[in-house]
């Protein structure tokens, strides 16, 4: 019987057509060895005639032991991860650097299906997910990941793959790109303190895996797993130990607005005179809420953010914030990956945020 599927040509087919050996044909394509120009042309011609589209990348990556793919692990769905400008900038930085070794990025979502990690579901049906632990990658970058990934990480290590984390809990065998979340927030808080603020509230990024919203309780803190949120909270409370904190369900303007509406519902004498938001988007939401409630910023309410992204449409405000070098963090992660792939040891990199004072902070109203 004839071939159903007119089997794709293989390198051997091309070689045969061109009258050379397979290895010669291989060299003609990869350019990694000396081949006579005439031979090369003959091989390429044969390839064209057969509609051969080049060596199969799968076979190549098996043979070479490298796939040229770097995994980027996010713990939310794409929509959420990329709604955050910080993530985009970091991602871009990684792409920039690994572009130098001509690798590409594979988006891996740490499946929320295993809420607490550990137990790997038995395959009831023959599914073969491309997961963190099971993807043809040469290395992985974790973006703001929680300890939930501990198992995946150890699997990666067993496979001998370099792992870099941009913020997040340090784990054995993971190079962490650090950010001074705690100290930076403390610096921001101190700025408020110096201006005379005493009643301050905090709006945090999601603390726990479920993105619980609301007043931050001891219970919530106990299950909190976001290093970034916890560190920033710690920094704020280093200056204002008793400040109330509200967890947002995500780093969005709407979430900031929602939390602020609750915070600001107190009568003027009791409500906070300043709000520390853990991201610029949250801070913008605070400003929106204040506008709606007729509370003037910064005269009656000071607002400070974190990130230093230029939020579109904030004019005439210029947010007081802690500017973090997100793109540079991504690049550092990318460089670390490249170095480790080349067999070198990458060193820990720590980044610092800079307090940028805008016009959303001022001394509290007298009285």
Partner DNA sequence: CTGTTAGCGCGTTCAA
Partner DNA sequence: TTGAACGCGCTAACAG
Residues of this chain that bind a second copy (CB under 8 A) = 8, 30-32, 51-54, 56-59, 61-62, 65, 67-69, 77-79, 82-83, 85, 88-89, 91-92, 95-96, 99, 102-109, 122-123, 126-131, 133-137, 155-156, 158-160, 252-254, 281, 284, 288, 311-315
Instruction: Give the residue among 142, 86, 74, 146 at the shortest CA–CA distance from 321.
Output: 86
> Which one, 186 or 255, has the nearer CB to a second copy?
255
Residue 20 interacts with, from DNA, a second copy, none (CB under 5-8 Å by kind): DNA
Residue 116 interacts with, from a second copy, DNA, none (CB under 5-8 Å by kind): none
Beta carbon of residue 85, minimum distance to a second copy (angstroms, whole number): 8
Measured CA to CA, the distance from residue 36 to residue 41 in angstroms comes to 9
Beta carbon of residue 14, minimum distance to DNA (angstroms, whole number): 8
36 forms part of the interface with DNA (CB under 7 A)? yes
Beta carbon of residue 275, minimum distance to a second copy (angstroms, whole number): 17
The beta strand positions in 171-290, using DSSP E, are: 175-179, 200-204, 214-215, 244-247, 274-277
How many residues belong to the chain?
A: 367
Among 41, 45, 48, 56, binds DNA (CB under 7 A): 56
- Number of Cα atoms under 13 Å in the Cβ half of residue 119: 6
- Number of Cα atoms under 13 Å in the Cβ half of residue 59: 6
Site track for DNA across 60-79, x = CB under 7 A = x-xxxx--------------
Region binding DNA by CB under 7 A among candidate stretches 14-22, 206-214, 249-257, 262-270? 14-22
276 forms part of the interface with DNA (CB under 7 A)? no
Measured CA to CA, the distance from residue 5 to residue 34 in angstroms comes to 35
Q: Coil, strand or helix: which one is 258?
A: helix
Instruction: Give the residue among 85, 88, 94, 74 at the shortest CA–CA distance from 333.
Output: 94
> Which one, 126 or 241, has the nearer CB to a second copy?
126
Among 35, 227, 322, 332, binds DNA (CB under 7 A): 35
Handedness of CA 145, 171, 204, 179 (dihedral sign): negative
Beta carbon of residue 157, minimum distance to DNA (angstroms, whole number): 16
Residue 271: enclosing H or E segment and its boundaries? none
CB count in 10 Å sphere of residue 10: 16
Beta carbon of residue 57, minimum distance to DNA (angstroms, whole number): 8
């Amino acid at each position: 019987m004839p071939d159903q599927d007119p089997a794709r040509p293989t390198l051997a087919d091309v070689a045969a057509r061109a009258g050379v050996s397979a290895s010669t044909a291989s060299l003609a394509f990869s350019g990694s060895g000396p081949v006579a120009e005439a031979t090369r042309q003959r091989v390429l011609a044969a390839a064209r005639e057969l509609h051969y589209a080049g060596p199969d990348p799968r076979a190549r990556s098996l043979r070479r032991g490298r796939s040229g793919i770097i995994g980027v692990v996010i713990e939310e769905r794409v929509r959420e991860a990329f709604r955050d400008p910080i993530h985009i900038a970091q991602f871009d930085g990684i792409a920039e650097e690994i572009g130098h070794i001509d690798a590409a990025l594979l988006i891996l979502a740490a499946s929320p299906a295993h809420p607490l990690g550990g137990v790997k579901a038995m395959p009831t049906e023959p599914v073969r997910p491309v997961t963190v632990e099971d993807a043809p990658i040469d290395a992985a970058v974790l973006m703001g990941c929680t300890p939930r990934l501990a198992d995946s990480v150890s699997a990666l290590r067993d496979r001998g793959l370099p792992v870099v984390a941009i913020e997040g809990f340090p784990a054995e065998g993971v190079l962490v790109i650090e950010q001074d979340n705690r100290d930076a927030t403390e610096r921001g808080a101190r700025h408020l303190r110096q201006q005379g603020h005493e009643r301050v509230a905090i709006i945090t990024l999601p603390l726990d895996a479920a993105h619980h919203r609301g007043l931050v309780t001891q219970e919530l803190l106990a299950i909190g797993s976001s290093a970034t949120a916890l560190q920033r909270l710690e920094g704020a409370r280093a200056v204002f130990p008793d400040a109330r904190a509200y967890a947002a369900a995500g780093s969005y303007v709407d979430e900031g607005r929602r939390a602020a509406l609750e915070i600001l519902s107190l009568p003027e004498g009791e409500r906070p005179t300043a709000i520390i938001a853990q991201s610029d988007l949250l801070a913008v939401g605070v400003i929106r809420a204040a506008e709606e409630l007729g509370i003037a910023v910064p005269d009656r309410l000071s607002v400070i953010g974190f990130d230093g992204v230029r939020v579109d449409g904030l004019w005439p405000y210029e947010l007081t914030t802690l500017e973090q070098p997100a793109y540079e963090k991504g690049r550092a992660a990318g460089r670390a990956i490249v170095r480790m792939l080349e067999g070198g040891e990458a060193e820990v990199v720590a980044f610092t945020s800079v307090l940028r004072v805008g016009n959303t902070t001022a001394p509290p109203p007298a009285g």
